[in-house]
Chains A and B, each alone.
Chain A
Amino acid sequence: MAALYPFVLTLVLQWLAGFGVMATLRSTLPRSIVAPIALLLGAFLETLVVVAVDRLGIGLSFTSVSLGMTLVVLATHARWSVVKSWYGTLVSSPSVSIRMYDVVAFIIAAYLVFVGMWAAYYWPVTPFDAMAGIDLMARQSVIDGTLNNSVLTDPALAGRLSNQPFYAPFAMLQQVIYRLMGWPFGQLWLPVMSFAFFWVMWALFRRYAHPFIADVLLLLLVMVPELHGYTYLLQTDFLNAVYVSIGVIILGLDIERRDNKNLVIAALFMAAGCWSRTETIAVIGLGMIASFPLLRNAVGMRKALSSIGVVIAASVTAFAIWHVWYFYGVFPVRPESGTEIVGFSIAKFTDVVSATFGDVIADMGLWGWTMPLFVLVLALSVLRNKSVGDRWLLVWTITILLALEIVGTLFASAVVGQTIRRGVFKLIPLMYLFMARSPVVSSLSAALQAWELGRGRNTASNQRKG
């Protein structure tokens, strides 16, 4: 438990850094999601601090990384007058209305998350990919005090490292941070991130749906079997899903208000997505292109183009720091990624699509009722309300799926049952938020609220609009 104080200090620093960035950028995100977003942002920033400390030639240690993080906190609070007024708005009296079923849902969700938290704390790193890759790198980086560690030059491993140690570094750097704190297996960042992620999703569900429905959606999200497993198993995919989906959601929240005031925050989340899985750069590129008409309609051509530019620039920067700077300028060896890419073939694409739907998407053991519920809600919205619902989320859901299929076709090592299965994680939060924002759930929410208030539905509905 000696690692507890460093853990608390790290969380405080991450939180403050996240708040500082959001304040400096004058974030207009809903207050209900600011705290978990700040924590996630701070966690991403700390990994950049690790890279900065490493490149400055300062040995990696808890002290050096924490001092670096403290500098980030100070820098993000440098414009104190701006930051102070933002904090003032943030802490003004909240208007949260908690119901009895909220308490029950919270207890159930907390129990489910706790079990994952305990597993992440107690069990050693388990997945082969992590032991042969990101955690092997993290462990040796902590021993050697540098990311350019001796695993890369060990004759016993020469030519045998494969591509696992070279995965996009976010998860590896989190392992470095948590191992530097003294946690023997690292990993505790996984439950921290899942806690923040579920908090964001719950707050968003409550923003759009009746609290009871929001609670049900939260519980269904927490209980998605495959997703829950990766809240304590060390892999890059859950992390990637958290950052990409929140980036998409933040952009969507801006579009809802027809501005792009949180563009940089969204871009940072997208960049963190590219920092956690290599192929995400293609997913984001395709997603931004596919959603361009919606962006343009919402904020105009100029802002839409600048949005795409900022998001792509941030994503490319994150991608380049690792895949260009580290691979070609720092590390003595690098993976032969080029040989992984095979030519596009319609036949293979068809096979990949068929296997994805047949073996992955249709498997309720992986996703619970997510897929049938999503289809049902979409169908009911179209039939009953003549609307598909939230087009932004729908476009991104479809585009991410398409991008995964293309990646599965182009990369020889991409396996439908593994790579695409875990890539589907990115869709899950978007699908649940899509359901929360659907016309059908909106109608259901209005009816439920009317019933709960003991009034006619129209009265309650009018009151909400008022």
Chain B
Amino acid sequence: MIQVLPLNSATEEKNISFSLGELVAGLRELLPDDGVLLEEEDTRPYECDGLSAYRQLPMIVVLPSTVEQVQEVMQLCHKLGVPVVARGSGTGLSGGALPHPQGVVLSLAKLKNILEIDPAARTARVEPGVRNLAVSEAAAQYGLYYAPDPSSQIACTIGGNIAENSGGVHCLKYGLTVHNVLKLKVITQQGDMITIGSDALYSPGYDLLALMIGSEGMLGVVVEVTVNLLPIPETTGVLLAAFDDVEKAGIAVGEIIAAGIIPAGLEMMDGFAIQAAEEFVQAGYPIDAAAILLCEVDGTRQEVEEQIRLVREELLACGATEVRQAEDELQRQLFWKGRKSAFPAVGRLSPDYYCMDGTIPRHRLPEVLKGIAEMADEYGLRVANVFHAGDGNMHPLILYDANKPGELEKTEELGGRILELCVEVGGTITGEHGVGIEKINQMCVQFSPAELAQFRAVKAAFDPDGLLNPGKGVPTPRRCSEYRTLHKGHD
């Protein structure tokens, strides 16, 4: 059977040894008293991120408030050989910010200044602890916004977005974090500051921006980010379509795209998720539908009118039982509110829920949903499906009760098998939440030993001592061989 291996067997293969006294004394010299947390009551809040099933009390938490302090902390940790786990606001869903038992948690929460908004260049230069939504709020006065909008955008930080290459509901048209960042200032594991990218659209050398974004805090610590801003679209239109069959909804997605339309947002919810959301926020969703699609288009008034007309035609041609257009901004917000609160809404129906994050080629959706339903039955667990239909990113929500002995383990096992199904149909184990500690076993399924070895070599190029976020993202050969052995037992 499949087992989730505890973090300890994520096996840093080298021994970590340093003098705790020397580290604490050094940190106290660099930071004010309230910048170094040692007592359990202070460090306890940092024991997990958004994936609270994994917890580890940190040894030390540091809260630098300047870039110089970050750099000095990194230099000290490099000198002493101390593992460092960088952390934003801790909303990550893959345990990427799970502390290291013998390491320092480097919180970037105090670096929260918006340094500059340049409306002419349409850029914002911000510190990593700035919240995602705060960038768009600050840019709004210039008619601009920052496009990536992960559902945690009220709380999550830009630094965390860089680490995870965060997406959101508008990715198909506006891209991920990697498509919206111009420049980074990064402190390396050795404590050097490097600038990656530039304010121009082309920079010489390797595309280290692409490498750094989504590297889950394992290659460097981002201390400044320049993002691209976009003009706020002139207008936005939203259609809600109901279907009596999930497969028809899936076909409609393909037909909209085949008609030459790239919706700003295209979301699908299954019957279970619809009912939960409707009970929670009364968005006016048709509760008897097997699936709904929310399709948002944006642009100039003329463009939106034209696209709404085309999308409506496609939806009806694909057998939508009902197509509604949001009549005003209030109704548009309400349509979205149902989708955006789908997670907590489903959460209300169960003591706990577990959010998965696989991506699949969209045309494989019906069989994947069927496979998920069959496996869920096998495990006696309920699963609600929320799907970024435009880009193929699925978020199955597994409902469970952590207080029932063995149920979390069962849930994680089901989750792992769902991800492996995603890989089997040509997809990936993570669309936007990252590997972290959560999906580290499934990395052994998605990648060959040679590919994983290549990842480790890239990691070593930046962090030869393996001290930045150790044990995350890329599994050790030993973990993979252990996992493959267990996996074989299951088959």
Q: Do A and B come from one complex?
A: no
Instruction: Give the A-binding residues of B (Cβ under 8 A).
Output: none
- Name A's B-contacting residues (CB within 8 A): none
